[in-house]
Structure 1
Amino acid sequence: MDEQAPRDARFARRRRANAPGGRQHRHEVKVTAEEEGELVRLALAQRVTVPRLLVESALSAGSGETPTERRNAMVELFAMHRLLAAISNNVNQLARVANSDGVVPVETAVTLAKVREVAMRIDGVIDELSPR
């Protein structure tokens, strides 16, 4: 199973959802070329538009996490959950062979290394979600 699973389409909205009655207020922000480049880079990394990035960042200043960052972390956790399910299937098959033959298959070390790798990824995502 591929570790870099495609992001779930349910979580992939770039623009903010429509607001009842629309958005009546508009703010114009002027930035330098360097600032524009950094804003575009950050927006692409979070898979959102620059306006959405600016609004979420400003409104979540107290919480330390934007809704987009939280959504991305959830998508990553779902992907790791699927990966762990596939790995656990492999571990069960290796255990079945070891129990029936009394010989530990060669693939066991690689599979267990993958388990450790996924566990470290989970720890990383949890650390990102933890309050700073």
Structure 2
Amino acid sequence: MTSEEFQKVSARAIALGLSVPRTLVEAATGVPPLTRRERDILYGELNGLKLLLGNLTNNVNQISRALNSDVQVPATQIRSVLQRAEIAARRVEDLAEEFRVR
């Protein structure tokens, strides 16, 4: 890499708030460059989804256990779990679309 190329990469890294090696890796792999703030937002959103999916799994297990023991489960509870699953799926789809490599 010439010194001019290094200066350009360094300037890009500084603008994105990334290290020079990370900037080079992202350029080589075609990963869209994200600023540190965008990465933090993405990380927070993915963590939120992980928690939501964990709660959904727990709720589905509780409903399953109740149904297998012939306990009546209110339809509103089942609908609520399904609605939260839809919300989580939509959030995943939205994130995937937002950060899709084009």
Task: Answer whether TM exceeds 0.5 for this pair.
Answer: yes
Return the letter of the residue paired with 2:83. Answer: A
**1:123 and 2:93 are equivalent in the alignment:** yes
Return the letter of the residue paired with 1:87. Answer: L
How many residue pairs match? The answer is: 77
- 1:55 maps to 15
Query: Which sections of structure 1, spanning at least 5 residues, go unmatched?
Result: 1-53
Return the letter of the residue paired with 2:15. Answer: V
TM-score by length of 1: 0.49
Return the letter of the residue paired with 2:70. Answer: D
**What's the Cα RMSD here?**
2.5
Report % sequence identity. 30
2:69 aligned counterpart, secondary structure? helix
Q: Is the 8 A contact 1:64 1:131 kept in 2?
A: no
1:101 aligned counterpart, secondary structure? coil
- 1:28 maps to none
TM-score by length of 2: 0.61
Higher helix share: 2
> How far did 1:88 drift?
1.1
Please list the CA deviations of residues 104-129 of structure 1 after superposition, one character each: whole Å capped at 9, or x if unmatched. 53210111111111111011112222
* Higher RCO, 1 vs 2 (CA within 8 Å, ≥6 residues apart): 1
- 1:96 maps to 65
